Chain A
Amino acid sequence: MARPPITDEELIARYGPHLNEAPPGGWDAGLQIDKVVNTHCCFCGQQCGIKLKVHDNLVVGFEPWYDFPFNEGKLCPKGVKRYLQGGHPDRLLHSMERDETAPGGFRNITWDQALDRVVSEIRRIQAEYGDDAFAMLSGVSLTNEKSYLVGKFARLALHTANLDYNGRYCMVSAGTGNKKALGVDRAPNPWSDIPLADVVWVAGSNVAETFPITTSYIWRARDRGAKLIVQDPRVVPLARTADLFLPVRPGTDSALFGAVLHVLVDRDWLDHDFIDAHTLHFDDAAAAVADMTPAWAAGITGVPAARIEEAAELWGTSATGMMLHARGIEQHTKGVDNVLAAINLGLATGKFGKPGCGVSTITGQGNGQGGREHGHKCDQLPGNRDITNPEHRAAVAKVWHCDESDIPGKGLPAQELIEAIHDGTIKGLLSICFNPAVSAPDVNFTREALDKLEFYAVIDFFLSESGHHADIVMPGSLHEEDEGTSTSGEGRIIKINAAVTPPGEARRDWEILLDIAERLGKSEYFPYTNTEEIFEELCRASTGGTADYTGATWRRIEDEMGLFWPVPEAGHPGTPRLYEGGKFYHPDGKARFHAVPYKLSAEVVDGDYPVLLTTGRVVSQYLSGTQTRRIAALVAQYPEPLCEMHPMLAEPLGIADGDLVTVTSRRGTITLPAHVVNTIRPDTVFIPYHWPGHKAANQLTIRAVDPLSKMPEFKVAAVRVERAGGHVETTDVRDLTLQDGRS
């Protein structure tokens, strides 16, 4: 029974999000600082270094960590205010059981009661419906140690094939594309390569709001004279000063890349030596773009042909160059195609394996890189191994001291897993760090699915909107309450240090999983007494895989300010830049070009739904907002979703800035204020997705997925936009309260 026990409004009244306005004791508390802990920000894959100030087992402030080389003290607003999630009034402090009669819809229970109920439901569901009818969903806000543990726990303790993770909605198209073309799933460059590039091409990434620190690297390149190309449907803040802006229509990136490759071939701006020595299938890729002229692409993409030719010239004639891409080209039903088409441009011009050269995804989530390497993807085992490959299975079984046959096979990816819950195939779910009630496409469908679960257990630190559906809630740990490692978007393994211990009856996530495993009679596989032991086993399990951590130790990671994998043996210096000397990770050492024909998005505009919707993020919020919607200063920056639209779209509809508009797709509808700005394509509206319920942009998005990566198409949906009646003022209330006083 996984329906919310009481109304959303009642749940929010009890469990928030409430706004934490000030640190423990208030702004003027002047608390004695007991210790200052070097660790990293929990938000986003940049993983900036930060120092947390601790008083009496509470995080009460921060200090820039100037010596950490990636960010040298720099932070975005989320990083500055991250410490305010500690000591938060919404923090879950007790295990809870769904109880419609209890105030707030849940009653506190003991850990024994919670664990017994969870284990009895796992046993009941698996006995009745089969092992795979109990599934697990995980997330990459978890450390490497926890990600590895979740993978092993699901396979050996739950014995289910159906484990997947929230990176399915984030990085999987990039990962799949990189593996196909280059043989390994990692950003090819350390970020220190960006300033060495003569041209920087940012494709589908609002760097200023989603990876703010990266802007400083791009400016360092520009200070050397580098040219900047930005490809985006919006004039995002970084685009404002770009040398060249490619205003691509959502869903047409592969046509744009194809036309650029067409020009590179046509003008012979190619690195023939590199292509001949280090790649395969160039002719196939070139043949696929033979008809993709800039004029053709201009009609598809909306980018003037002259700008496509200029982009090709900048990219093709520059000695060095880096392309940085993110969800803007990846969250599509052709996300893998888009990534392959981008990589084609790097391979064609020899821009891999050299200083200042690379085509790189910018990993989104906190541990989006490390968390996707060590086995909590449905098709993966540690070391980025393939769960369907007998040799890979045998290698991991040896480390796990189990029979290879004890490891279940490939499971369902996240979106198919939610659909299997909806169709009744999957009956039970354990989730940690995943809030599909906000982050999944078509959230009305997702919430229906969660309602249908016979049993749903959640491990989390705040009660997320998905947690509203839970039968059992187990209070886990915040980032600063446990130690371990994560791997940043550069492929740099870094150390996360605990600043405080979990409050109340909350426990570290890994201890909770170990207790469940013990009660399932599987404790022999989980003999850990601390997370360093989990890391040491992870390293052994990664040996021989592509994501090879063999030579990494916590000590080295801290002493050397991070280590770039692969680190294939003790004493190995790590590998900041991949593919040096043109050596790729396929067995023959060669990269693959791919023929990428242009395909339509799953949904195209028509008379009923004539406008393109694209979704994304704002700088002050992170993912589904479970953490950042509880911090007052971040909420004040951008309090609620707005519908960005161009005056050419708004004016004929009689819509002015601040007017409420209703946006409707074939899945659902949302009413929100219009933000009328001429910095977005006139055929497109943009809505950020961080909010739940009737403010969820994902009420509109489509459940269509990429055939290879299974990434949903968050970036393209067909909608119509209408005046809803009503208007809100868009004044920033912070200015008013300053002049007028709070009281």
Chain B
Amino acid sequence: MSRGRFGIDDSPVFVIDQSRCIGCEACVQACAECGTHRGQSLIHLERVDRATSTQTAPMVCMHCEDPTCAQVCPADAIKQTEEGIVQSALKPRCIGCSNCVLACPFGVPKYVADFDQMMKCDMCTDRTSEGLTPMCASVCPSEALWYGTIKEFNDTRSGSLFRDFMFGRQEVRTKVYTVIDDALGGPLDVLAGVTRTWLDDPFGLDHVQATS
């Protein structure tokens, strides 16, 4: 089977592995090519702290099982599909209040002023409904964004899949998986938990000072 096409029974899942992100923005550019919101990219790609690191973090909608954005929407404009995909606010209902923008624990919804509407990642419903991989995971050159079956992930990739989060007392289970080094190992380390002593002093400056 070719990557990018899935039958109904394959049950592919969406996976984010932040440690592999190279910040190239292929996802940002490709998101804007999605048929349902062409010209408007809805994925987030953040530079975490460019002054100290090239770490970047891509963020699609995590598609929570019980989405906070929908809970706080005063207009009941945010709906889930039967597959658990949380959709953009319904245009006729959305009042542009940005409650969802503020409430989402992952910072996903965007208030798009030009449309006076909340828009967010809908997991490329137009593509996934036809068995195609979402645009961002199709193009991601480092496979930081990945779409496939859990078996395929476990057979080919390192790291553990993870989808339960605690935000204070709020427990959130997401449809989208994150990759961590060890699912039982405590807080999520976006650097994948690899031990690299060089990171403390990448340019060997301690060494230079010691020898000069």
Q: Write the residues of chain A forming the contact surface with B, with a CB cutoff of 8 angstroms.
A: 22, 26-28, 61-62, 64, 66-67, 71-77, 79-81, 208-209, 212-213, 215-216, 219-220, 222-223, 225, 235-245, 247, 298-299, 302-305, 307, 619-620, 633-634, 637, 646-648, 657, 676-679, 681-682, 738-743
Contacts and interface: CB of A to CB of B under 8 A. Distances in A.
A163 to B, nearest CB: 35
A681 B53 CA distance: 13
A75 B142 CA distance: 10
A247 B202 contact: yes
A741 B4 contact: no
B24 A223 contact: no
Contact of A215 (B133, B135, B142, B158): B142
B139 interface: yes
Contacts of B50: 677
A74 B23 CA distance: 15
A233 to B, nearest CB: 9
Interface stretch (B67-75, B83-91, B111-119, B162-170): B111-119
Residue from A235, A237, A245 having most chain B Cβ neighbours under 10 A: A237
23 contacts: A28-B38, A66-B3, A71-B141, A72-B3, A74-B138, A77-B25, A77-B28, A80-B26, A209-B22, A212-B22, A222-B158, A237-B22, A247-B203, A247-B204, A298-B207, A619-B23, A620-B25, A637-B25, A677-B50, A677-B51, A679-B202, A739-B113, A740-B113
Contacts of B22: 208-209, 212, 215, 237-238, 619
B95 interface: no
Contact of A223 (B110, B157, B203): B157
Given A66-B3, A223-B158, A80 B196 contact: no
B151 to A, nearest CB: 15
A633 B199 CA distance: 33
Contacts of A678: 51-52
Given A26-B39, A223-B156, A307-B204, 13 more contacts: A22-B39, A28-B39, A64-B4, A75-B139, A220-B156, A237-B54, A237-B56, A239-B54, A240-B53, A240-B54, A241-B192, A247-B204, A648-B205
Contacts, number: 170
A237 B40 CA distance: 26
Interface string B45-80: 000001111111000000000000000000000000
Contact of A682 (B138, B199, B203): B203
A244 to B, nearest CB: 7
B184 interface: no
A64 B124 CA distance: 14
Contacts of A741: 113-114
Interface string B120-152: 000000000000010100111111000000000
Given A64-B138, A66-B4, A240-B191, A27 B25 contact: no
B202 A235 contact: yes
Interface string B14-49: 000001111111101110110000111000000000
Contacts of B112: 738
B142 A79 contact: no
A619 B114 contact: no
B81 interface: no
B154 to A, nearest CB: 11
A736 to B, nearest CB: 10
Nearest to B5: A66
Contacts of B56: 237
Nearest to A222: B158
B208 interface: yes
Contacts of A216: 141-143
Contacts of A73: 3-4, 133, 138-139
